[in-house]
Amino acid sequence: GEHHRRIPNHDSAEYAYLQALAIFEKIEDPQGIRFSYQNLALTYTASKQYDKAIEALNKVHSIGDEPDLLALLEEGVARVDIISNRHSLDSAIIFAMGMETLALQSEYPIWIKRYKALLSDLCLQAGDWPQAWAYHLAADSLEELQTGEQVRMQARVVDHQYRVLL
C-alpha cells in the first residue's frame, strides 16, 4: 500500500490497505487496525476523497491508545489538506503552525522541514509573501543542514570501512 500511495496509484493503495485491515481485524490487532485506517486516511486525502479521509481518521482515534508521535506528524499533513479544502486557509495555517511546534518539540528535523515548507506553501496561497519567504528560507536551511550531515555520515562510514579493511 505504501508504495502505491507514494507513486501515486490510489486505487491500488486503497485495495492493499483494505486487505491489511481485514487481516488485522481478523486477528484483532488494534495497532494494525489503526495503522490501516491511518494509511487509508492518507490515501483518501491524497486522492481528494475528504469524507472518506475524515471517516478513517475518526476510526484511527477511536481505537485504543493514542497513535505515536510520528503517526501524528504524518497524519497532520493530511489534516492540513482537509482543513484547507473544507474550512479555510487561515484555519489550515493555524493547524500547521501547531504541528510545526509539535515537530520542533519532538526534534524531528525532517518533520520540522516538512511543516516549514508546508507553511510556506500555505502562506503563499494566502498572499502573505513575506511569511511564505521566511518559511521557505527556514525549510531550505534545514535541507542544507540535513544534506551536510548526510555527507558527513557517509564520509565517516567510508572512513570506518577503509580502516577496517586495512
144 class by beta-carbon count within 10 Å (0-12 exposed, 13-18 middle, 19+ buried): exposed
- pLDDT top residue among 40 and 4: 40
Per-residue pLDDT tens digits for 17-67: 999 999 999 999 888 898 899 999 999 999 999 999 999 999 988 886 666
Helices 69-86 & 30-46 angle (0-180, nearest 10): 30
CA 126 to chain centre: 22
Question: Is residue 163 predicted with pLDDT exceeding 80?
Answer: no
CA 31 to chain centre: 18
- All 3 cell numbers of residue 46? 491524497
Of the candidates 41, 44, 124, 122, which has an alpha carbon nearest to the alpha carbon of residue 87?
122
pTM: 0.75
The helix/strand/coil state of 166 is coil
Question: Is residue 166 predicted with pLDDT exceeding 60?
Answer: no
- Could you tell me the pLDDT band of residue 83, with boundaries at 50, 70 and 90? very high
